[in-house]
Amino acid sequence: MNEKLAAEVAGKIAKRMERANKPVPVGVSNRHIHLRQDHWDALFGKGTQPRKLKDLKQLGQYAAYDTVSLVGPKGRLENVRVVGPHRSGTQIEISMTDSMNLGIKPPIRDSGKLQGSTGVKLIGPKGEVDLKEGVIVAKRHIHIAPSEAKDFGVSEGEHVRVRAGVGGERELVFERVLIRVSDQFRLEFHVDTDEANAAAIKSGDEVYLV
């Protein structure tokens, strides 16, 4: 066999074996909303601020006490938590189960890619917003800091495979998990509640790149 090829294959296998030993903690995202300033103002009142409930693992992000209701053609979802700080575009992340309850069909998208996504009516304590687009089902992804990305041998925008629920009744392998690298990120595998339930995993559990 060609020696160069053999060395290359051996290198790839070594990298995969190395990866497979490093656990990645799970973060299950329940339905939530990121608001644009003017939408916040319309829903909660101009001059008010979100009240922080707790910091999230990703630096600078926090869950607020404040919540909104979503109203779709088929149903309503209460207590959808605001995640701060505000963003340049209002983005609502819900599960496909939520979508079916609301009667809407949002696309599966990476965070921030909202063009042509689905609309919904938002109701806050001080007003309503009839949102034309902004609802997505989030594509599963791994947040990772640059130094850790180097250790794992992964880079921004790459797709990896993730084994979850190892040894459990619902073990599975997620294909095409997006890698997102930033110095604001801390190592975390983000899935929604449907995906977490399908693998019978919860926040803090460990999954593995394969």
Residues at the interface with its own copies (CB under 8 A): 95-97, 100, 108, 139-140, 169-176, 191, 193-195, 197-200
Q: Which is nearer to its own copies, 140 or 143 (CB)?
A: 140
DSSP SS3 for 10: helix
- Count each helix (H run) and each strand (E run) in the chain, helices first: 5, 14
CB of 189 to its own copies, least distance (A): 13
Antiparallel, parallel or unpaired: β 128-138 and 118-123: antiparallel
CB of 139 to its own copies, least distance (A): 6
Q: Which is nearer to its own copies, 41 or 195 (CB)?
A: 195
Q: Bridge partners of 91?
A: 34
Q: Which is nearer to its own copies, 97 or 203 (CB)?
A: 97
Q: Which is nearer to its own copies, 11 or 157 (CB)?
A: 157
CB of 162 to its own copies, least distance (A): 9
Length of the chain: 210
CB of 153 to its own copies, least distance (A): 22
- The answer to whether the peptide bond before residue 23 is cis (omega within 30 degrees of 0) is no
CB of 165 to its own copies, least distance (A): 8
Cα angle 99, 103, 104; round to 5: 60
Is-contact 165 201, C-beta < 8 A? yes
